[in-house]
Chains A and B, each alone.
Chain A
């Protein structure tokens, strides 16, 4: 099985540690993951802001990059959601039947990390050790667009040393929402403040999620508030060992 890592643009630029954690984790599980260097972005920022024409070359680059792989793994529910559910919209807009066919080929092979581990590799115990109290925020696109369900929790429950604390109102959006965080900054922050309060209420040392974009938003509020709670991507917890 040829497996590609789609690291995502935000992880590439701001959170290389998350990409490195996916590489460490997958190698430990016997997957020789490749990083096709021509990759850039899933095009979600353009699609969700309404710039479909601008998304076309980005989606074209995506399918060119990942053609020929059996599976594309990404540490982001949001980017996986865009590839699986929105690339077809962009391809239709382009009017290019070749691109539509390429998208139909690539989209179903894109997996969010927890889906790939549980569904494709069939593992929930990834041999991790992480001696901390952790609370998990299910990001909206992983929860509702992809339907990852409790897969991330199944993985976290098997991590040795980890104490999982339930997040109240977990399924409420944190308020990030891509360009929503800037276009409607006041509402975004009001939502985020409530989320951050629920996180600190758990007393956990660490907040985790499957999307660094949402963690940047919640984490930015938590550090501004000097809460002492760290935000750590799910991949980094699953990669950790004693």
Chain B
């Protein structure tokens, strides 16, 4: 049931063109992002009424930064404390290694299914597809992830992966698909949110009670106590983390925070920035194995998968501070119009536009190279980021890396145009000469295209003379 894939997605402008034609998608997105934006803003205002949101952002960024600057030591400490707590730590360089580790542990217990907590990192590595290839079914238990999985669909938002679906579409998916993989939806299913949630609850409960192996990610990994943290809204995560006998958590190496105290600003920033709540309903923390309580076999897979490359990027490394809140998606005018699928990755929106090239390296793939350009550089993302990631500056730096990666080959028309512009714009006499042709240039553009502009927008009329000609002719307007 996992036919949908981001592999082979076209570059952003092509994918966006298709998405922009979907009126239902545009409507769903504008409504959903608008609602979350307003909720978040109310809570930021509330914090500012009593203390200072900017100080909280600085504190949160500081915690993540202190871990990243000392990452090697922090990870070794995390391994020690986790091991001392009874967990088994595994190291994975890439997706294939991580998937193989999870599959091997699952098979060792002789089961053919796992229940999953919503997790970005397991989507990043394509864990469900890898397990399916090994004959293991991975059941998503987050409501929205369930909708995506049942609909043979792809996530389009970090926090609200089914944001592109409305409730009548969800009803259809439940009716058509639930029965094939477990408890069917009731015959009298309506599109009332409470009714839909009840159907999902019954469907999932059967899986929770049966599963022997649970799989999760982690929002944070505390080095000094050897504790993993999962933040969620529905309680399905708590079920997966406590009911199975075996728990496997795949954790990106950037998730480490040095101390328990460091969670303080982060747990205040995250729910306010993501769902627009003061506090998320469920925060689960576990430190290895607790005898007689919860999973008695706990594995932690620490994953690199490009993060070391990102850490080596002087400008881009700040992206590793990301706590996956999705405030940048909700405020982004590009995301609001195109939705998440156009970004061709489980990480869409502004953070995806920098994270994907940083993890995978610029210059290797046309789709990845198109992402840093999928922004008008309006800066709204930086304004809301709870850990102060300067996304516009990273975008601009990555654009330079994309251009640099293609220097030396046969130059594209764009590269030639900019080389020409550099010559004209470094000498005002050459520019003044070029400006004599403004009028004819605009006429040609109107007549023969520059269609990327003129398909929807008029060009301005040509002035009788340039400013510099006027200044010279009139002595700056004095004569």
Contacts and interface: CB of A to CB of B under 8 A. Distances in A.
Interface of A: 7, 9, 11-17, 19-20, 23-24, 35, 37-41, 43, 45-58, 60-61, 86, 89, 93, 140-141, 143-145, 171-173, 175-193, 216-217, 219-221, 223-224
Nearest to B334: A187
A191 B338 CA distance: 10
Interface in B417-437: 418-419, 421-428, 431, 435
Contact of A192 (B383, B457, B471): B457
A50 B403 contact: yes
A79 to B, nearest CB: 12
B426 A37 contact: no
A186 B431 contact: no
Contact of B431 (A9, A54, A141): A9
Nearest to A27: B477
A217 B457 contact: yes
Contacts of A179: 373
A15 B428 CA distance: 17
Given A50-B403, A185-B452, A60 B373 contact: no
Nearest to A23: B477
A175 B419 CA distance: 26
User: On chain B, which size bracket covers the interface?
Assistant: 35 or more
A48 B399 CA distance: 7
B462 to A, nearest CB: 7
B463 interface: yes
A86 B426 contact: no
Nearest to B402: A50
B376 A191 contact: yes
Interface in B195-239: none
Interface string B78-90: 0000000000000
Contacts of A86: 396
B458 interface: yes
Contact of B435 (A13, A55, A144, A216): A13
B31 interface: no
Contacts of B468: 7, 12, 35, 37
16 contacts: A15-B463, A16-B469, A37-B472, A50-B404, A51-B400, A52-B404, A53-B422, A54-B422, A58-B425, A86-B396, A140-B376, A144-B378, A144-B379, A177-B378, A183-B373, A220-B458
B444 interface: no
A220 B460 contact: yes
A16 B333 contact: no
A50 B453 contact: no
B344 to A, nearest CB: 14
A45 B421 contact: yes
Nearest to A220: B457
B438 A13 contact: yes
A181 B453 contact: yes
A14 B463 contact: yes
A173 B380 contact: yes
A60 B467 contact: no
A223 B458 contact: yes
B467 A144 contact: no
Contact of B418 (A15, A54, A60): A54
A20 B376 CA distance: 29
Given A11-B467, A20-B477, A185-B452, A55 B422 contact: yes
The winner among B376, B396, B397, B399 for most chain A CB atoms within 10 A is B376
B324 interface: no
A214 to B, nearest CB: 10
Contacts of A183: 13, 373
A61 B453 contact: no
B183 interface: no
A23 B478 CA distance: 11
Interface in B339-393: 372-380, 382-383
- By secondary structure, the B interface counts as helix
Contact of B382 (A19, A144, A173): A144
A60 B438 contact: no
Contacts of A186: 13, 16-17, 20
Nearest to A56: B422
A14 B460 contact: yes
Contacts of A175: 333, 376
A14 B464 CA distance: 9
Given A14-B438, A23-B477, A61-B425, A224 B458 contact: yes
Contacts of A176: 376
B426 A40 contact: yes
A19 B467 contact: yes
Nearest to A36: B428
Contacts of A50: 372, 396, 398-404
A40 B428 contact: yes
Contacts of A187: 13, 16, 20, 334, 337-338, 374
Contacts of B421: 45-46, 54
The winner among A17, A60, A173, A184 for most chain B CB atoms within 10 A is A184
Contacts of B455: 185, 189
B465 interface: yes
Given A144-B378, A185-B453, A221-B456, A58 B431 contact: no
Given A47-B396, A178-B377, A185-B452, A20 B334 contact: no
Nearest to B422: A54
Given A54-B421, A189-B457, A220-B458, A37 B428 contact: yes
Nearest to A16: B467
The winner among B378, B383, B438, B453 for most chain A CB atoms within 10 A is B378
Given A50-B402, A184-B373, A220-B453, 11 more contacts: A50-B401, A51-B403, A57-B426, A60-B426, A140-B376, A140-B379, A182-B452, A185-B13, A185-B453, A187-B338, A220-B457
Nearest to B16: A187
B400 A52 contact: yes
A41 B425 contact: yes
A188 B376 contact: yes
Nearest to A64: B426
Given A9-B425, A13-B466, A50-B403, A180 B396 contact: no
A220 B402 CA distance: 31
B431 to A, nearest CB: 5
Nearest to B431: A40
Contacts of B465: 16
A144 B383 contact: yes
Contacts of A20: 467, 470, 477
Contacts of B452: 181-182, 185
